[in-house]
């Protein structure tokens, strides 16, 4: 069966520090991969999506970047975190857009 792993669950980072969040998917090949951010009490904002290795599309200009070094690995990074980068980050995968499978999320606090 398919599973998605996202870590860490919580992260507290100082302003200006780097960031690396990792997401891996098991049990499926060539999935579409997504990074969403959710501000407190708000909906989900799509940050990046990828349809294949090395293929990254960005939805909003920001301080973050994403990479897909392997078929089932998706990484969210930043060289220097800002206060506004705080939020709940969710990785997701799908085969088509009829169902997204989400990871358990990472709560990032930038102080």
Partner 1 sequence: SQQGEEDPQALSIQEGENATMNCSYKTSINNLQWYRQNSGRGLVHLILIRSNEREKHSGRLRVTLDTSKKSSSLLITASRAADTASYFCATDAVGGGADGLTFGKGTHLIIQP
Q: Could you list the residues that contact partner 1 (CB under 8 A)?
A: 6, 32, 34, 36, 41-44, 46, 49, 51, 57, 59, 88, 90, 92, 94, 97-105, 107
Which residue number, 34 or 72, has a Cβ lying nearer to partner 1?
34
3-state secondary structure (DSSP) of residue 84: helix
Minimum distance from residue 68 beta carbon to partner 1 (Å): 13
Minimum distance from residue 80 beta carbon to partner 1 (Å): 27
State the Cα torsion 42-44-46-47 to the nearest 10°. 60
- Residue 84 φ/ψ, nearest 5 degrees: -70, -5
Which residue number, 79 or 109, has a Cβ lying nearer to partner 1?
109
Identify the CA nearest to 71 among candidates 89, 95, 87: 95
């Amino acid at each position: 069966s398919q599973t998605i792993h996202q870590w860490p669950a919580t992260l507290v980072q100082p302003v200006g520090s780097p960031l690396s969040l990792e997401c891996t998917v098991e049990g499926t090949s060539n999935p579409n991969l997504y990074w969403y951010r959710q501000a407190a009490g708000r909906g989900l904002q799509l940050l990046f999506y990828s349809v294949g290795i090395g293929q990254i599309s960005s939805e909003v200009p920001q301080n973050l970047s994403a990479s897909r070094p392997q078929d089932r690995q998706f990484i969210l990074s930043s060289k220097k975190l800002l206060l506004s980068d705080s939020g709940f980050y969710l990785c997701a995968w799908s085969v088509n857009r009829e169902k997204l499978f989400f990871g358990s999320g990472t709560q990032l606090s930038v102080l």
